[in-house]
Amino acid sequence: MTDGHCLCGAVRFEFDGTPLWQAHCHCESCRRNCSAPVTSYFGVADGRWRWTGTAPAVYVSTPGVQRMFCATCGTPMAYRAEQWPGEIHFYAASLDDPLAFTPEEHVHWDEHLPWLPISDDLPRR
């Protein structure tokens, strides 16, 4: 079992098994949602995860996209999109043990910020 939580600890989640995928996202909407130059996510299949604390607040950031966050401290917690049915995407930095995150690729590389040098050899798409 793997666990994670928001800054204040109110919103908590857990999941069983390994993530479906793990990636760094460089798209503008993720950057703006987190006020960060890159956001790291992992996908978990529905039925393998659950909220164990207060359920997060939800807003629709664009048609077909829901973003979940702690209504108390504002920490972004998860992302769900119609484009990826049957899975939820959690932020790697919210893991109780963020060292458990092992990125496999960079996505939306065409939107990356050139002032943040990235020197790993992960695939970029």
Among residues 71, 46, 76, the alpha carbon closest in space to that of 61 is found at: 76
Split at pLDDT 50, 70, 90, the class of 68 is very high
Write down the pTM of the prediction. 0.94
Q: Residue 46 has what pLDDT?
A: 98
Look at residue 97 in the predicted model and tell me its pLDDT. Answer: 97
pLDDT tens-digit profile of 77-116? 999 999 999 999 999 999 999 999 999 999 999 999 999 9
Residue by residue, DSSP assigns the chain as -EEEE-SSS-SEEEE-S--SEEEEE--HHHHHHHTSS-EEEEEEETTSEEE-SSPPEEEEEETTEEEEE-TTT--EEEEEETTSTTEEEEEGGGBSSGGG----EEESGGG--TTS-------B-
The confidence band for 64, taking pLDDT boundaries of 50, 70 and 90, is: very high
pLDDT of 25 reads: 98
What is the structure's pLDDT at 98?
A: 95
**Per-domain residue ranges for the chain?**
2-108
Architecture in CATH for domain 2-108: Beta Complex (2.170)
Q: Looking at residue 19, what is its pLDDT? A: 98
Residue 53 pLDDT: 95
Question: CB-based burial of residue 11 (10 Å sphere; 0-12 exposed, 13-18 middle, 19+ buried)?
Answer: buried
Residue-level pLDDT at 82: 97
